[in-house]
Amino acid sequence: EKVENNVNALNSSQTNRSDSPNGGYKANVSKGGLTTSAVMDELLKDKETMEIFREFLKYEQILTDFAWNMHMLQYEATLDFYPPPRLDS
């Protein structure tokens, strides 16, 4: 419940998530000029929330690393068929 309250407070006070005509969301907009550093400083004060936050981000990082590695393998595979242009000519 404590984490949910913290998340709800951040969502209501820090973001603008109005629906756009194409069904997506507008970019999050800080109201009142809060910086990422200020938000992180506040989050770091709550050990329980940060533990959950770090656990969530751990899996996000695993997915990002996997996607990056797959992208690089795909890119390297294309080099055999489409080598980059030579810069010395």
Q: What distances in angstroms separate CA 81 from CA 5, 13, 57, 70, one per listed residue?
A: 53, 51, 37, 18
The pLDDT value recorded for residue 2 is: 52
Reference 15, options 33, 3, 27; nearest CA is 27
Q: Round to whole Å and give the CA distance between 58 and 67.
A: 14
Q: What distances in angstroms separate CA 67 from CA 2, 18, 53, 77, one per listed residue?
A: 33, 29, 21, 15
Q: Given the structure tokens 């595979």, which residue do they identify?
A: 77
Instruction: Convert the pLDDT of each residue in 12-64 to its tens digit.
Output: 444 444 544 444 444 455 667 778 888 888 889 999 989 998 998 999 999 99
